[in-house]
Amino acid sequence: MIEIQNLTFGYSRKQKLFRDLNLSFLPGNVYGLLGRNGAGKSSLLRNMAGLLFPDAGRCLVNGFDPKDRHPAFLRDVFFVPEEFYLPSVAIRNFVSTYAPFYPAFDRTQFARYLKEFEIEDRQTLTELSYGQKKKVLVGFALATNVKTVLMDEPTNGLDIPSKSQFRKTIASAVDEQRTIVISTHQVRDLESLIDPIVILDESEVLLSATIEQITQQLLFKQLTQIEHPERILYSESSFRGMSVVMENTDGELSKVDLELLFNAALAQKDRVRSLFSNIVESVR
């Protein structure tokens, strides 16, 4: 479990990425962390991982303060950054060196991931493509069986088949004890995977809700002509007419379009806040 309480963080005294941020991330979920470039998604993940420290407030991960770098905290958290360095060693040697830091690491599980990714453990990491390296690191992260997995733009560098494979691998690794937080701007890649959704904007949480809660409040439709314009939060042209996000006043069911949701939330901040004002920031 991750608890963020009144967290303030910035890279300078004058400019803060977050002010009094409050969020909870609970086990058994794959959270989607969305936001514009520069909204602070990566910085928030690094605060959770203990690589950056808050200016005020606190962040607790599995009951530990990440900035203390307690061994019990480190062995139960794994962070997959967007940009990373891997040593020039065979995958099997990488595992032999780093797996002992994670008591629950499962070599059989990791071997299964490598087989699914069509990668052999005798291959040298630096000889792999960026996408292959990413798959090795993601597989290693899941095989650690830590309680908290943090991923920053994990589908960058993956081709279309690999993105599908990534979704299946993550879905198979979810359990009631594990919290997975994925920061991404490629929402189409993860639309069927991430739930709940957290949107950051201008130092605050703009939206924090489950997919079910979103469908209760919003309706996603394709229209050939505009209906009930007063209910429309956002619209954009498509080859089938207009793609719209509307207030769901009739309890109609629809499939959430995360890209439309994100654009609607940024375009209609006050209306979105009002619609979701009865939903607490701790998504349960």
pLDDT digits (tens, 9 = 90+) for 223-238: 887 777 888 999 998 7
- The two three-digit tokens of residue 116, written as one number: 């699914």
Give the residue-averaged pLDDT of 190-194.
90
- Is the pLDDT score of 279 beyond 70? no
Residue 239 has pLDDT above 80, yes or no: no
pLDDT bracket for residue 115 (50, 70, 90):
very high
Residue 116 has pLDDT above 80, yes or no: yes
Looking at residue 102, what is its pLDDT? 97
* pLDDT value at residue 281: 44
- Distances 267 to 42, 180, 206, 260, 272 between C-alpha atoms, Å: 23, 28, 11, 10, 9
Do the bridges between strand 56-61 and strand 218-223 make them parallel or antiparallel, or are there none, so unpaired?
A: unpaired
Domain boundaries, the chain: 2-208, 210-275
What is the residue-averaged pLDDT of the chain? 92
CATH number assigned to the domain covering 2-208: 3.40.50.300
- pLDDT score recorded for residue 283: 44
pLDDT the model gives residue 282? 41
Closest CA to 145 of 183, 115, 101: 101
Q: How far is CA 71 from CA 87, 150, 279, in A?
A: 23, 18, 35
Quick check: 22 pLDDT over 80? Answer: yes
